[in-house]
């Protein structure tokens, strides 16, 4: 399911997931574990207050919750980031959003769902802090900005929408020119492995011809 970038949705999902997180915490019963209740209650209260302000116009660990439930909460960072982006905010802590995008993209199978996910990812890309977006020449392959741009290009490809592919590929080439050749070479391999339709193959093939054969000096 593609998330909805509305505070009411985010708060509702967090409440639902909080019950499962707390149940997992109580089952484990380890005295050294940090109780996640204050953090969850604080997050829900914050979202409620933001929602009230909207209608009227953390960098912290979740503790001992089951990893699956922690990932579910982390998944809410994407709609929250979109909500912030739509109000002119800048996003500098990309890691949770990148993880949320990856988790959603891997769980969606229908091209139509991926097509709906794409504009949400694009909103985040456009709202990224300039300081973060200027790391195009960094060498760490796990840096969130790099992963976000590559994942957006993958989402566009899996949506089977040439217009989205063109946009995502152009952005990838602009910001990650050193990594574009390898992306398009791997993209061509995926065209065969996943049996993509012809119109998707044509777009990937054209970009591969322009960039896939290039080599960069390291």
Per-residue pLDDT of the chain (218 residues; tens, 9 = 90+): 677 777 677 777 767 766 766 676 677 655 555 566 665 666 666 556 555 655 555 333 334 444 665 566 677 788 878 877 887 888 888 888 898 899 999 999 999 999 999 999 999 999 998 888 876 656 677 889 999 999 999 999 999 999 999 999 999 999 999 889 999 999 999 998 998 999 999 999 999 999 976 554 33
Together in a domain, 164 and 137? yes
Together in a domain, 16 and 39? yes
Together in a domain, 155 and 140? yes
The Cα 15–Cα 20 span in angstroms is: 9
pTM over 0.75: no
Together in a domain, 120 and 214? yes
Domain end among 72, 98, 126: 72
Range of the domain at 180: 75-218
Together in a domain, 112 and 81? yes
Together in a domain, 68 and 79? no
Together in a domain, 134 and 121? yes
Together in a domain, 154 and 215? yes
Together in a domain, 213 and 142? yes
Together in a domain, 101 and 36? no
Together in a domain, 80 and 46? no
Total domain count, the chain: 2
């Amino acid at each position: 399911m593609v998330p909805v970038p509305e505070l009411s949705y985010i708060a509702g999902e967090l409440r639902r997931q909080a019950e499962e997180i707390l149940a997992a915490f109580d089952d484990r019963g380890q005295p050294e574990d940090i109780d996640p209740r204050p953090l969850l209650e604080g997050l829900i209260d914050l979202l409620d207050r933001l929602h009230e302000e909207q209608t009227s116009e953390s960098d912290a660990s979740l503790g001992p919750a089951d990893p699956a439930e922690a990932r579910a909460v982390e998944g809410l960072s994407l709609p929250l980031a979109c909500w912030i982006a739509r109000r002119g905010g800048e996003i500098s802590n990309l890691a949770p959003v990148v993880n949320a995008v990856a988790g959603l993209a891997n769980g969606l199978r229908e091209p139509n769902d991926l097509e709906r996910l794409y504009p949400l990812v694009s909103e985040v890309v456009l709202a990224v802090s300039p300081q973060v977006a200027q790391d195009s020449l960094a060498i760490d392959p796990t840096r969130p900005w790099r992963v976000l741009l590559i994942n957006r290009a993958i989402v566009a490809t899996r949506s089977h929408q040439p217009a989205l592919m063109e946009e995502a590929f152009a952005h990838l080439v602009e910001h990650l020119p050193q990594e574009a050749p390898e992306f398009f070479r791997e993209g061509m391999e995926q065209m065969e492995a996943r049996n993509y339709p012809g119109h998707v193959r044509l777009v990937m093939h054209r970009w591969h011809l322009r960039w896939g054969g290039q080599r960069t000096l390291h």
